[in-house]
Copies of this chain bind each other. A is one copy, B any other.
Amino acid sequence: MDIIILTVRQSGNRKGPAADLVQLYIERTSHFHPCKWLQVRSVDEVWAQREKPASHLILLDPRGEMRTSEGLAETIGKLRDSGKRTLLFAIGPADGWSAADRDRAGALLSLGKMTLPHELAAAVLSEQIYRACTILAGHPYHCGH
C-alpha cells in the first residue's frame, strides 16, 4: 500500500525546518511503505489523486476524530489488510475543507484542538504515519518516547 501526504497550497515552496521534518519522516516511512509528499495547488488535485484504484482518502480536519497513535496504527493496518492500494492523507487549504469535501471523503482525522500552521501539521502527520508503521511492525521506536 502506497501512502501519500497531500498538502493544498496556492503558493509557497517546501523549504524550511518543518518541510525538512516531513521529508525525514517520509524517508523513514519508506522502509515500511512507499511514501511521498505531494504539494498540490487546488482541492481538485486532491480528488484527482482519489481516482486511483483501491484508494482511501483521509482529510485532516478539526471536526475529525482525534486518535491516539495506536488508534491511527490500527486504522492504517485495517486499510492495508483490506487490500487498499493507496492511502491518501490530505491537509486542506488555509480556509479549510468545504462541507461537500468533508462529506465525500472516506474519513476525517483531527491532530488535536490546537491550530497548527500547514507545514507543522504535515510534520506531525508524517511523524504519526511513521510511528504507526513502527507500531504495526513491532519496531521499538514507539516505546522509546
Tell me the A residues contacting B by CB distance below 8 Å.
17-18, 20-21, 24, 66-69, 71-72, 94, 111-118, 120, 123-124, 127-128, 131, 142, 144-145
Contact = CB atoms under 8 A, between A and B. Distances in A.
Contacts of A66: 112-114
Contact of A115 (B20, B112, B123, B145): B145
A20 B69 CA distance: 24
A71 to B, nearest CB: 8
Interface of A is mostly: helix
Contacts of A145: 94, 115-118
Contacts of A71: 113
A123 to B, nearest CB: 7
